[in-house]
Structure 1
Amino acid sequence: VAVLADLSNQSAAKDLIDRLLSVIAQPVKVDGVVVQVSGSIGISHYPQSDDVDPDQLLRQADQAMYQAKVAGKNRYHIFDTARDASLRGQHEHLERIREGLIKNEFVLHYQPKVNMRSGEVIGAEALIRWQHPDQGLLAPLAFLPPITQHPLEVELGRWVIDTALTQIEAWQAEGVDLPVSVNIAGYHLQQPGFVDDLRTMLAAHPNVPRGYLELEVLESSALEDIALVSAIIEASAALGVSFALDDFGTGYSSLTYLKRLPAQVLKIDQSFVRDMLQDSDDLAILEGVLSLATAFRRRAIAEGVETVAHGEALLRLGCDLAQGYGIARPMPAASLPAWRQRWHPDPRWTHAHCLDRDLLPLLIAGVEHRGWIVALGEHLDGKRDAPPPLDHHQCRFGQWLDKTVHQPRHAATFATIETLHLQVHVLAADLLKRRAHGHDAEAQAGMAELHALRDTLLVHLEYLLKDDPRSLATSSGGGSNCL
C-alpha cells in the first residue's frame, strides 16, 4: 500500500503512477536470470464527497486494482466514486422495494375502460402504486425503472397479477362484474415456467371467470424470441387469459408484432391521442392504427382521452373504446363500484356518428387549422423560431380548401369559411407586424381575437361534418365505408 500525500491534483498522481508502472516493468536480474514483471495498481482518492474511513479507502483501492487486472497487464484503474454511489443507491433502492413488498406497502389503483358510445364500463386497468411511509403515494416511474430486467421485476409482477386476481374475486362476491388488465414486463413474460406459474396463480383463485384477466405487454418491450412469446400467449389463452399490445405504435416492430403475436387488443398510445386535435400526423397515425386493427381483426382501445373533444374525435374515427383522465383517473378498488354507478358518457359521445371515409380530409382540415393557430402562438411566445406559412393558400388548411369540390347546397358555408380563413391570416400578419415593432403585449392580446375567429371557422366545419356525408366530396376520392 502506498499513500501519496500533498498531490495538487489527479494529473500529478497520474504522472507519478505512470513512472511507478514503468519502473515495475523494468527487467531485473535474479540469480543470473532476467525477470520482468508487470504491475496492476488500484487508486482511490481522499477526501471524497462522502465520509470514508481508512478501511473503506483500502477496499476501494482493492476493487480498482481488480478492474486494472481485468483490463490487462501494466495498467492502473481509478476507483469511480460516482459510479459506486450510483450502484450503492440502486442496491439500496432494490432492497427497499423488496422490503416494501414484505410490508405490503404496494397497492393497485384501477382506471376504468369504457365504451364511450354505449356508456358500458368494459373493464379496468390495474396500475401499481407505492404507498411509501415517508414519501407518500408514488407513481410507477418513481420506482420501477431501476428494477428493469432484474429478478425483482418478476417478483413484483407476480404480486400485481395475484393482487388483481384477488380483487376480481372480491368484486365478484359483491356482484361487480369487471374484467381487469395488468401490465407485464417482457422480461417477466419470457421467464421459463411463466405459463405454469400463471396456471398456479389462477388455480389459487377459482372464482375468477375465464377471460377476466388480461395481460398488457408493451409494444416497445424487448421481446427477444417472438415465436416463444407467441406460444406463451396462445398457452395463456388456453387458460382463459387474453393479451393486449400496450402503447401500440411507439416501437420499431409494430407491424411484426401485430402479424406474429396473437394479442386480441391494441392499445393506442396516449401520445397520439393527446395531440390528435392539433397534429394531423398524430391523427393520421391514429386512423392508420384503427385501420390495421380492423384488417387484422383486433379490438382497439385509445389511451389518454383527456377531454370530451378527444373522445368525440375518436368516435368519429370509429374507435369506441377508451380510457383516460377525461373519463376517470386511477382510483382505489373500493371507489370503483360507486364510480361505475354514477358514470354516464357525455351526450356529445352518445350522439357522435362514425364518419364516412370521404369526410376524413375535412376532419384533418380542422386539425390542421388548430395546429396552425398553435404554431403561431408559439412563435409569438418565442417558443418557435419561424412562424407558420402566412399565405392563406400555402397553409395546409388553405391547400385543402382550394382543392375541395363541394355541393351547391354548401356554397354559402364554404364562402363563409373562406372569408374567415382569410381574416385569420390577415390578423396573424398584423400580430406579427406588431411584435416586430416591439409591441409584444398588443400581439399577445390579439391572440384572443384570433382564437375567436378560429372557433367560428371550426363551427362551420362542424356543420359540414354533421351534415349528410354524401353531400360533400373532395378531390381525394375514396369509398363510403366508415373509418
Structure 2
Amino acid sequence: MNPGSCLVDDPGVANLQLLSHAEQQDILLLQQAILESVAQGHDPLDIINEVCRLEERLLPNAVGSVMLLDEDGKLNVYAAPSVPPEGVERLRLLCPGPNSGSCGNALYRGEPVFVSDTLTDPRWADLRDLAVDFNLLACWSMPIYGAGREIIGTFALSSFERRAPTEFHHKLLEIGASIIGIVLERRREADNLRLMAKVFENSNEGILVTDAQARIVSVNPAFVSMTGYSRDEALGQTPRLLASGIHDQVFYQHMWASLLEQGHWHGEIWNRRKNGEVFPEWLSLSAVHDHNGVLSHYVGLFFDLSERKAAEARAEYLIHHDPLTDLPNRLQAKNRLNEAIARRQDDGEGVALLYVDLDNFKTINDSLGQAMGDQLLKAAAQRMQTLLQSQEMLARHGADEFLLMVPHVREPRQLTELASLLLNAFAAPFDINGQQLHSTLSIGVALAPDDGDDYDALLQKAETAVRAAKEAGRNTFRFFTGQQGGQAAEQLLIRNGLHNALLRNEFILHYQPQLDLTTGRIVGAEALVRWLHPEQGMVPPGKFIPVAEESGLIVPIGEWVLHEACRQLAQWREEGLGDLVVAVNLSGVEFKRGYLVESVTHTLARTGLPATCLELELTESMLMHDVENVISTLQRLKALGVRLSIDDFGTGYSCLSYLTRFDVDTLKIDQSFVRQLHLGDQHAAIIRAVIQMAHSLDLATIAEGVEDAEVVAFLRAHACDQAQGYFFSKPLPAEDFARFVRQYRAVL
C-alpha cells in the first residue's frame, strides 16, 4: 500500500456539510497544517505531536494522545506532547478491556469510544484514580488502523471538563486517527526499505536479481505485474530493459559509483513499462557478496510511486488552494503578494491588497443552509474572477472573505475603478438553485509601499479599511488611512497578545483586602486580574479587558481567574491564614454563555474551596437582560452556597423592584461616590441611602475606593459593613497579600 494515496480520500474532506461553516474552516485549516507537515517529510513523531497540538487548539481545555499496541498486545503512550511524564508512566502497559478507559475499550471493542464523564462511567472503572489525579473528566478515543485495516493503536482527546462530542469533534478524531495511521504506515515503509534486500519472491514490491555482470537471473511476480515483462522476457537482459531515457549518463554513473563503493544505492527513478508508459518508482539496490567476500549478485527492489505522486500532488494542491472555490488560499496569497512586492521596481508602481467581504453572507447561510451558502461563495468567486486581468490574483481568505492582489499600480484611480467595478457587478442578484440572492461587497484597500512592505502589514491595513467600509453602511470601499490604523493596531496587538497570554501564564492575580468596619479585621479580598506582558510590562486592565470582552477571550480568562482565586484561597486556608472570602468579578459575556453554574461547581470541586468562601461580583447592567433567566442562574448559584454581590451599585439601572427578586448578599457602593464624598452633601446622601436600603433588605454593604480616615469615619458612623481601598492597602500579589494579613493589626 502507498499510504500517501490515502490523503486523496481523507475523511475530513467528506461530509463537511454536516458541520457549521466556522467548523468547516477549522477542519480545512487543520488539514492544511497537517498535510503541509506530511508533504514536507517531517519526522513521524514530530508530525503526530503536531496533530495532537493542533487538535488541542480546536478543543480547548483538553489534551491529545496517541497509544500504540506492543508485541504483547498492551498499549503504551507513543505521543502526548501536553501530558506530564507522570501521566504517561501511569498509562504504560495498559491492557485493553471493558473497564480500562476509553483507549482500552476502543481496542477491546474495535470501535470508537466516547466517554463524557470518566468519574461515573463503568468503562473507566480501572482508571478512576488516574482520572481523579489528573482531572480527566471526559475522554474520546478513536482506533488507529494500519494498512491492512488492523487496529494498531488509538488516538484520544481527553478533556478537563465533562462534555459529549459533537459532529465536529467526531470529525476531528477521524481526521487525527486517519492521518496518524498514514504517518505511522509511512514510517513502517521507510523501515522496510532497509529490509527489502532480504525480501524476495513473496514481496508486493518488484524485485530483480542480477549476476555480477548485471544480467537478470530472477524476477518476482510483482516485477512482472508492474513492468509488463514476463519472467522469460526479463531473464538474461540487463536493467537497461526498463530505461526511460529521462536520466542522463551522469545519473547512472553516480548510481553505479555508490553501488560499487558503498554496496548500495537507493533513490527515485523513472522507468518504462513494456507498453511504453513511463512511471516513477522508488528503487533500492544492494550488492551481495559470497562467503569469500566476492561480489556475486545485485538485488534491486522497487515499488511504484504513481499513487503516492498523485497523493502528493493532491496534498500540494490542498496546501495552496481552497477546496470549495478552487481559488488560491491565504498561504498562496501571502507568497504571491510578497513575491510581487519583492519584484516591484522602484519606478513609482505599487502593489495593492484588496480585502473583499461578502456582506450579509452569515444571514443567507444561516437562513437558507450551508449548501446554499457554499453555492453563493462559489458564484461570487466566479463573478469576481471574470472581472480580473491575468496578473491580478483572487484568493479566498476564509469564510466569506476574499483577497485580491493587484500588481503594477501606478495611481490610486486604478484601484478606485477596480473596486467600483466589483461593487457594480454585485448589483445583480445571484441565481442559486432557482432562488434570487442579493449580496453586496465591502472592500478595504491597502497599498504597498505606502501602507506596508509585506503581506502581514498590508493585510492588517486592509482589514482596518474594510471595517471602515462596513461602518460606512456596506456596499462601498475605503482606502486605509493612518487615523484608522492607530486604534486598530493597538487593539490588534492586545488581541494577539491575549491569545498567547493564557498559554504562557502571563496573567497574575492581585488581591485587595476587604475589612470589617466594626471589628477592623480583614475578612476577605477582591481578586483582580493583571497582565504581566514579557515586553510591555504590566498592561492596565482598562486596556485589555474591553478587548478581551469584545473578542470572547474574557471567557477563558475569567475561568482562569475563578480557578486561580479559589485555588489560592484554598491554599491559604490550609496554611492557617484565616476564614477569608475571595470576591471574583464576572463579565456579562461569561454570564450569557450559559454554563456559569457548571463552571463554578467544577472549580470548587477541583480546588476544594468551600462555596461559602467564594463571592461572585455582578454588575447591575448584567442582571437586567433576560431577567427570568438571570434569577434562575442566581438561585442555582446560591444553592451551591456561593455569595453574590452587585458591583458598582448606583451606576447602572438600580431598579429596586428587580433588586428585591435577586437573591444577592451584598451591595458594593461604587468608588465614584466614595471618592467624591468630600465634595458635598449630595454624595453623602446617596451613600447613606444605599446603606439604609441595603440593610432594610437584609443585605450587607461594602464601600470601595476608600482612601482616607475621614471617609472611614463617615462609613462607620452610618453602619457601612465593610470597606476596601488604598487607605488600607493597594491590590497586592498573592505572596505580599498573605504577608499583609499575617502582619496586619486592626487600625479602627
Question: Shorter-chain TM-score category?
Answer: 0.5 to 0.7
Q: Quick check: 1:77 aligned with 2:477?
A: yes
Alpha-carbon offset, residue 218 of structure 1: 2.0
Q: Quick check: 1:99 aligned with 2:492?
A: no
Q: 1:189 aligns to what?
A: 591
Q: Quick check: 1:297 aligned with 2:681?
A: no
Q: 1:275 to 1:46 in 2, by over 3 A?
A: same
Q: Quick check: 1:330 aligned with 2:699?
A: no
Counterpart AA for 2:585: N
**What SS class does the counterpart of residue 126 from structure 1 fall into?**
strand
Q: 1:41 to 1:155 in 2, by over 3 A?
A: closer
Is the contact made by 2:443 and 2:476 (CA closer than 8 Å) also made in structure 1?
A: yes
Q: 1:389 aligns to what?
A: none
Counterpart AA for 1:78: R
Q: 2:431 aligns to what?
A: none
Query: What's the Cα RMSD here?
Result: 4.0
**What SS class does the counterpart of residue 204 from structure 1 fall into?**
helix
Alpha-carbon offset, residue 279 of structure 1: 2.2
Correspondence 1:197-236 to 2 at 5 A: 197-206=599-608, 208-221=609-622, 223-236=624-637
**What SS class does the counterpart of residue 267 from structure 1 fall into?**
strand
Q: 1:416 aligns to what?
A: none
Alpha-carbon offset, residue 214 of structure 1: 0.6
**What SS class does the counterpart of residue 635 from structure 2 fall into?**
helix
Alpha-carbon offset, residue 6 of structure 1: 6.7
Alpha-carbon offset, residue 285 of structure 1: 0.9
Q: 1:50 aligns to what?
A: 451
Alpha-carbon offset, residue 132 of structure 1: 1.6
C-alpha distance in 2 between matches for 1:43 and 1:202: 48
Is the contact made by 1:126 and 1:182 (CA closer than 8 Å) also made in structure 2?
A: yes
Residue deviations 1:299-324 (CA, integer Å, cap 9, x gap): 00000110011100111122131000
Alpha-carbon offset, residue 72 of structure 1: 10
> Going by fraction, where is strand more abundant, 1 or 2?
2
Q: 1:59 to 1:200 in 2, by over 3 A?
A: closer
2:528 aligns with one of 122, 127, 143: 127
Query: Could you say which structure has the larger radius of gyration?
Result: 2
C-alpha distance in 2 between matches for 1:210 and 1:79: 54
**What SS class does the counterpart of residue 679 from structure 2 fall into?**
coil
**What SS class does the counterpart of residue 334 from structure 1 fall into?**
helix
Q: 1:155 aligns to what?
A: 556
Counterpart AA for 2:699: R
Q: 2:565 aligns to what?
A: 164
Alpha-carbon offset, residue 267 of structure 1: 0.4
When normalised by structure 2's length, the TM-score is 0.40
C-alpha distance in 2 between matches for 1:198 and 1:60: 41
C-alpha distance in 2 between matches for 1:65 and 1:267: 42
C-alpha distance in 2 between matches for 1:337 and 1:55: 46
Q: Quick check: 1:111 aligned with 2:500?
A: no
Q: 1:90 aligns to what?
A: 491
C-alpha distance in 2 between matches for 1:106 and 1:312: 36
**What SS class does the counterpart of residue 224 from structure 1 fall into?**
coil
Correspondence 1:71-470 to 2 at 5 A: 76-81=476-481, 83=484, 87=488, 89-177=490-578, 178-206=580-608, 208-221=609-622, 223-346=624-747, 350=748
Alpha-carbon offset, residue 333 of structure 1: 1.5
C-alpha distance in 2 between matches for 1:84 and 1:222: 35
Between 1:141-150 and 1:48-57, the stretch displaced more is 48-57
Q: 1:91 to 1:307 in 2, by over 3 A?
A: same
Alpha-carbon offset, residue 115 of structure 1: 1.3
Alpha-carbon offset, residue 220 of structure 1: 3.7
Q: 1:257 to 1:269 in 2, by over 3 A?
A: farther
Residue deviations 1:231-278 (CA, integer Å, cap 9, x gap): 111111111211100010011244255223211100000010011122
C-alpha distance in 2 between matches for 1:54 and 1:333: 43
Counterpart AA for 1:133: P
C-alpha distance in 2 between matches for 1:54 and 1:99: 22
C-alpha distance in 1 between matches for 2:605 and 2:744: 34
Counterpart AA for 2:713: E
Unaligned 5+ segments in structure 2 are 1-387, 390-405, 427-438
Q: 1:21 to 1:252 in 2, by over 3 A?
A: same
Equivalent residue pairs, number: 332
C-alpha distance in 2 between matches for 1:212 and 1:317: 27
Is the contact made by 1:219 and 1:257 (CA closer than 8 Å) also made in structure 2?
A: no
Counterpart AA for 1:315: R
Alpha-carbon offset, residue 113 of structure 1: 0.5
Alpha-carbon offset, residue 22 of structure 1: 12
Between 1:178-187 and 1:93-102, the stretch displaced more is 93-102
